[in-house]
Structure 1
Amino acid sequence: MSDVIYQAQAPLEFIPPAFNPWVLKVVHLLLPSWINWQTPITKIEADNVEILVDLYRQFQEGKIRFMLAFRHPKTDDPFCLSYLFSQLVPKVARQGTALQLPIHAHFIYDRGIPLWAGSHVGWIASRLGGTPIQRGKADWTGLRSARELFANGKFPMAAAPEGATNGLSEIISPLEPGIAQLGFWCAEDLHKAGRNQQVLIVPVGIKYSYVDAPWEAIAQLLSELEAASGLPMNPPVQGNVASIESLYPRLLTLAEHLLSLMEQFYTRFYHQKLLDAKIVTGEIQDRNEALAHRLQALLNAALLISEQYFDLQPRGNLNDRCRRVEQAGWNYIFREEFKDIKALSSIERALGDRVAEEANARMWHMRLVESFVAVSGNYIREKPTVERFAETTLILWQMIARLKGNKAFQRPQLGKQQVKITVGKPISISERYPVYKENRLSAKQSVAEVTNDLQQALAALI
């Protein structure tokens, strides 16, 4: 959500999908130039594209319905998938498979995106056949639209089962069960309509890597973050050659310092108790492990601030809690009684604006947590690559940007990147549908099993 929504407003309207082939044609035409101009991506490759070509062939022949369940580490992911559809799939298909063009997919997107990215994004998403969803509640209008597109849309579906970006190419956030549920709903709709098409969910991995290791750019960014957080300036690296050996201690020191500042902030002004007994007693002495414990305590405290204001119980993982806080905030800002704002008195409008302003302020704590939901204290140590180091540094940059009130979604570009997309083995929903439809318990278990299998499949594609 935008950080400048301070006024109570009418409820968020559903943006119905309204696919326009001319809009898609323009997007496909401009996409390569847009990627070169707006992103650090210089090369996009894909493995197992022939699997996708065959799936599109079967889809166009009326034999299957399928959904692409893709990894979502960055906001650049939609550009990569569009490139896959417009460039790579047709290229492989020309080697012997006749496909009807254009190759495309309906997609599910977060209804909040047009709030921070601009209303024009909602218009474009609609004309590209996208359908929005409000993630923090049972959005029946959005679910019905996605369900209709899955069973009857002109194209297959695409969605990110993680629900949001986590900034990490090699860690998958816990998957939301909605993708599996949509698959079973599609199988159910086809069965009721007497259609014998098979329903599949196709895992798709997306992984970013740097063309050249951008250690100097990382060192410069670290210096900027150190200065912003009040740490002393570090002398230039000897020989002006930065490396993980010289930068990792600085990153740990920065992370520890930021944690200390935030712990003081929440302890003094929000009366939270954050001291970890294992750290106080010296039971945990490893810096990485101590960071992990302190970070989890801080994230929990920050979310509690939001949850207590909105009278929410802290249930589920961090992702689940963030989504509930987000929806509660939306309910305070986008209100049914503000549909006809002219019918309200000036006092009612002023009180509504005050509630909206405070709700937005309380959601700020949740936005901080949102950036760290997948962060562990051992991500770099387990595999000390420049990619992992850069991703962690950028997450700290995002945190500091939020603290300073800057736009946290416009991340710095540290260096040119290449992308590897990997198409995984399809998961059959139709094979599991007989068990799903037995009773409510078996349906719930089937959804959980597919979600777990999809999580493992996506992990295997890293």
Structure 2
Amino acid sequence: MFPLPPPHFAHPPLDFIPQSYSPWVLRLVHGILPLLMRVRVRRWLPSGISKVEATGAETLAELYHQFQTGRIRLILAFRHVEVDDPLTGLYFFSRLLPQVAHRQGIPLQLPMHVHFLYDRGMPLWGGRWLGWLLSRLGGIPVHRGRRVDRLALNAARHLLMEGQFPFVIAPEGATNGHSERINPLEPGTAQLCFWCAEDLAKASRSETVIILPIGIRYHYTHPSWEKLERLLQHLEKVSGLTVSSVDPGSAKNRNTRYAQRICRLGHQVLTQMEAFYAQVHHQPPAQVHDLPLNTRLERVLQQALKTAEHHFGLSSQGDVNGRCRRIEEAAWIQIYREELRDPRSLSALSRGLLDWNAQQASLYMQHMRLVESCVALREEYLLEKPSFERLAETALIVFDVLARLKGEAYPARPRLGWRAAHFTVGDPISITERWTTYQKGRQEAKQAVAQLTEDLRLALEQMIQ
């Protein structure tokens, strides 16, 4: 998702937004969900969802009943594919799940809802109203850039113990735009599960802690090859390529030709990015341009990260996700300043220098944002199965990358046809059964977190095969 344009001024620090669940706000959102899912009410909202389906919802209905009767504490590990997930998730809980429970004769109290974590930066690009809304829907903001956001963690642990709804977490930590490819899972989800079990044990409570993996996939109900063709021609023109075409009416080898065309587009973008980092940021120039797309992409991502890390004085250690979070943390420290809680105490010169510093920090953070956009561009994902869905997903990611490079803050993604969302409910995993191993010692706890994270990854992977 696209953040706000680089700020011209430094700002006061981002305060924690406490969750303040409001039943009437939830009822209002439930009432307008069909409109929100079908009509683009904000530029950054893709929407265009015509149908929501679910497999295995009976399992969730039964577990929700056990949660409401006080027998379990329930954590839901949802895939987070794209920005539409919250809307389709709300529809799933407010419409599909009550219907399934009614058919199965499972008594449930309405409303059926969840508490959840969301990125503290969302109100920056969505507007203050979004922070207010997410708070009233029972959400907790987490500052991803901080090594430990204690306010968010403490609030989450309280709701895991006392919340009136189950708790939703996205183990991937961020979207990747692909229904059939999962990002590496972050260990925080597993750690929160064990902390919940630990807090229950300290309180001498007997509820079983359950985590339930839930997958989500999107598919086009009526794919529009004509719209995909227009999108690719637009991207080719923007990137400086000669505009080509594929006959949308010829099914023979059509998908493969579209995949090759998108890969060609990716190479064109990388060629220009390699030149940019060599000329402007004095990164080592690319020596060979006939390397595979993934190899070239990895080199450009490393150049982007190192450019930002050099500016902020950071090391280049760790995986891409961890490095992105450290860059974000360093940038936010420069942009959202503790000194500005009382700006009257600053001289005009001091304030001007803070603004200058904020502009530079925001500009260099864009290199990290570019990595977040580009990291999902994987050639093998496209070529191994060039379905319309994968072609559309990858083309839209390229659209996002080019829009970011052009400086567009809120690009309105083109629609390539009506889509359906399909939820798949997996098998519950008992955290309580693993608690004995976790509490044996530090090493055992670390291994238990790693094993649960791996088990969640395998469960989510199975749902997209």
Q: TM-score, normalised to structure 2's length?
A: 0.94
Q: Which residue is equivalent to 2:243?
A: 233
* Equivalent position SS for 1:217: helix
Q: Which residue is equivalent to 2:44?
A: none
State how far apart, in whole Å, the 2-side matches of 1:68 and 1:307 are. 35
The alpha-carbon deviation at position 93 of structure 1 amounts to 1.0
Q: Which residue is equivalent to 1:430?
A: 432
Summarize deviations over 1:263-320 as a string: whole Å, max 9, x none. 00001111112536xx57xxxx6x7xx1110000100110111111111112222111
The alpha-carbon deviation at position 233 of structure 1 amounts to 2.5
Q: Which residue is equivalent to 2:113?
A: 104
Identity of aligned residues (%): 48
* Equivalent position SS for 1:270: coil
The alpha-carbon deviation at position 443 of structure 1 amounts to 1.2
State how far apart, in whole Å, the 1-side matches of 2:319 and 2:385 are. 25
Q: Which residue is equivalent to 1:386?
A: 388
Q: Is the 8 A contact 1:53 1:92 kept in 2?
A: yes
State how far apart, in whole Å, the 2-side matches of 1:368 and 1:237 are. 29
Q: Is the 8 A contact 1:274 1:298 kept in 2?
A: no
Q: Which residue is equivalent to 1:182?
A: 192
Q: Which residue is equivalent to 1:258?
A: 269
Q: TM-score, normalised to structure 1's length?
A: 0.95
State how far apart, in whole Å, the 1-side matches of 2:216 and 2:63 are. 19
State how far apart, in whole Å, the 2-side matches of 1:435 and 1:450 are. 12
State how far apart, in whole Å, the 1-side matches of 2:263 and 2:201 are. 55
Shift in alpha-carbon separation, 1:239–1:149, aligned structure 2, 3 A: closer
* Equivalent position SS for 1:142: helix
Q: Which residue is equivalent to 2:343?
A: 341
State how far apart, in whole Å, the 2-side matches of 1:146 and 1:291 are. 41
Aligned counterpart for 2:175 among listed residues 156, 165, 170: 165
Q: What is the letter of the counterpart of residue 270 of structure 1?
A: H
Superposed, which structure 2 residues align to 1:38-117 within 5 Å? 38=40, 39-95=47-103, 96-117=105-126
Q: Is the 8 A contact 1:6 1:360 kept in 2?
A: no
State how far apart, in whole Å, the 2-side matches of 1:118 and 1:410 are. 16
Summarize deviations over 1:173-230 as a string: whole Å, max 9, x none. 1111111111111101100111010111111101001112222111111111111111
1:329 aligns with 2:331: yes
Summarize deviations over 1:139-192 as a string: whole Å, max 9, x none. 001110011111111111012111111111111111111111111111011001
The alpha-carbon deviation at position 72 of structure 1 amounts to 0.8
Summarize deviations over 1:380-433 as a string: whole Å, max 9, x none. 111111111111111111110001111356322111111110011111111111
Q: Which residue is equivalent to 2:456?
A: 454
Aligned counterpart for 1:269 among listed residues 268, 280, 299: 280
Summarize deviations over 1:87-136 as a string: whole Å, max 9, x none. 01100111201101000000000000000111101000000110010112
Q: Which residue is equivalent to 1:12?
A: 14
Q: Is the 8 A contact 1:15 1:126 kept in 2?
A: yes
State how far apart, in whole Å, the 1-side matches of 2:86 and 2:372 are. 20
* Equivalent position SS for 2:145: coil
State how far apart, in whole Å, the 1-side matches of 2:317 and 2:125 are. 27
Unaligned runs of 5+ in 1: none
The alpha-carbon deviation at position 46 of structure 1 amounts to 0.4
* Equivalent position SS for 2:409: coil
Q: What is the letter of the counterpart of residue 139 of structure 1?
A: D
The alpha-carbon deviation at position 372 of structure 1 amounts to 2.2
The alpha-carbon deviation at position 246 of structure 1 amounts to 3.6
The alpha-carbon deviation at position 240 of structure 1 amounts to 6.0
The alpha-carbon deviation at position 73 of structure 1 amounts to 1.1
* Equivalent position SS for 2:386: coil
State how far apart, in whole Å, the 1-side matches of 2:303 and 2:19 are. 39
State how far apart, in whole Å, the 2-side matches of 1:261 and 1:248 are. 20
State how far apart, in whole Å, the 2-side matches of 1:6 and 1:68 are. 40
State how far apart, in whole Å, the 1-side matches of 2:99 and 2:371 are. 42
Q: What is the letter of the counterpart of residue 85 of structure 2?
A: D
1:141 aligns with 2:137: no
Q: Which residue is equivalent to 2:216?
A: 206
Q: Which residue is equivalent to 1:415?
A: 417
State how far apart, in whole Å, the 2-side matches of 1:442 and 1:321 are. 27
State how far apart, in whole Å, the 2-side matches of 1:113 and 1:306 are. 22
Q: What is the letter of the counterpart of residue 195 of structure 1?
A: R
Q: What is the letter of the counterpart of residue 251 of structure 1?
A: I
The alpha-carbon deviation at position 232 of structure 1 amounts to 1.8
Point out the more displaced range, 408-417 or 160-169.
Answer: 408-417
* Equivalent position SS for 1:107: strand
How many residues align? The count is 452
State how far apart, in whole Å, the 2-side matches of 1:128 and 1:107 are. 9
Q: What is the letter of the counterpart of residue 66 of structure 1?
A: L
State how far apart, in whole Å, the 2-side matches of 1:377 and 1:72 are. 21
Q: What is the letter of the counterpart of residue 258 of structure 1?
A: V
State how far apart, in whole Å, the 2-side matches of 1:409 and 1:324 are. 26
Q: Is the 8 A contact 1:16 1:126 kept in 2?
A: yes
State how far apart, in whole Å, the 1-side matches of 2:318 and 2:63 are. 36
Q: Is the 8 A contact 1:162 1:172 kept in 2?
A: yes
Shift in alpha-carbon separation, 1:128–1:433, aligned structure 2, 3 A: same
State how far apart, in whole Å, the 2-side matches of 1:408 and 1:162 are. 24
1:249 aligns with 2:242: no
Give the alignment's Cα RMSD to 1 decimal: 1.5
Shift in alpha-carbon separation, 1:429–1:144, aligned structure 2, 3 A: same
State how far apart, in whole Å, the 1-side matches of 2:93 and 2:140 are. 18
Q: Is the 8 A contact 2:259 2:386 kept in 1?
A: no
State how far apart, in whole Å, the 2-side matches of 1:300 and 1:364 are. 14
State how far apart, in whole Å, the 2-side matches of 1:107 and 1:91 are. 23
State how far apart, in whole Å, the 2-side matches of 1:443 and 1:200 are. 18
State how far apart, in whole Å, the 2-side matches of 1:437 and 1:410 are. 49
The alpha-carbon deviation at position 5 of structure 1 amounts to 2.1
